[in-house]
Amino acid sequence: MLSIKEKETLFTAFKKLGKEGFRENHYTLPILTKCGTPQLWKEFLMETDVNDFINQETALLQQAEFRSILFDTAKDTSAGRAQLINALISVNNTTKKKEGPVIIYSYVPLNKQQIKASNVEINDTDIFLKKEN
């Protein structure tokens, strides 16, 4: 369990690294900051408030990078531009739940008994194609 003093020391050292600190792990942080041990850094990084801080900062950095790339690609006319933008949008899309109806469209052939039944209506047109006027 981290003491308050240890946590404050590690947090100060972590902030001094700037945005580069967000890519480091608990094994490299003691080397870069010259304080703590991998175990102390692991405990520090697992603290709820530290984890929330890292997630918030990472999201802000990601959004800024996305905007930078988006504006830089405006000069680019290559075919990969749309793919790059779509990939970045999907990375930043936090919506996990897909919304809207799910339609399962399939064909089930009728057996001989079903074909002869009086209540069967055979539709040989695609009901989902829009009719053109």
Write the single-letter amino acid at 35.
C
Instruction: Return the pLDDT at 86.
Output: 72
Instruction: Return the pLDDT at 55.
Output: 93
How large is the average pLDDT for residues 90-94? 66
Is 19 part of a structural domain of the chain? yes
Contact (Cβ atoms closer than 8 angstroms) between residue 26 and residue 20: no
Is 13 part of a structural domain of the chain? yes
Does residue 132 have a pLDDT over 70? Answer: no
Is 33 part of a structural domain of the chain? yes
Is 128 part of a structural domain of the chain? no
* Residue 84 structural domain: 4-92
Is 80 part of a structural domain of the chain? yes
Instruction: Return the pLDDT at 46.
Output: 95
Q: pTM score, two decimals?
A: 0.58
The per-residue pLDDT of the chain, averaged, comes to: 83
Percentage of the chain lying above the pLDDT 90 cut: 42
Does residue 49 have a pLDDT over 90? Answer: yes
Q: How many domains does the chain have?
A: 1
How large is the average pLDDT for residues 56-71? 84
Is 50 part of a structural domain of the chain? yes
Which residues 6+ apart lie within 8 Å of 74 measured at CB?
none
Maximum Cα–Cα distance for the chain, whole Å?
Answer: 84
On the 0-12 / 13-18 / 19+ scale of CB atoms within 10 A, 7 is: middle
Is 133 part of a structural domain of the chain? no
How large is the average pLDDT for residues 58-81? 75
Q: Which residue has the higher pLDDT, 119 or 41?
A: 41
**Cβ atoms within 10 Å, residue 2:** 17
Is 118 part of a structural domain of the chain? no
Instruction: Give the integer Cα–Cα distance in Å for 43 and 25.
Output: 12
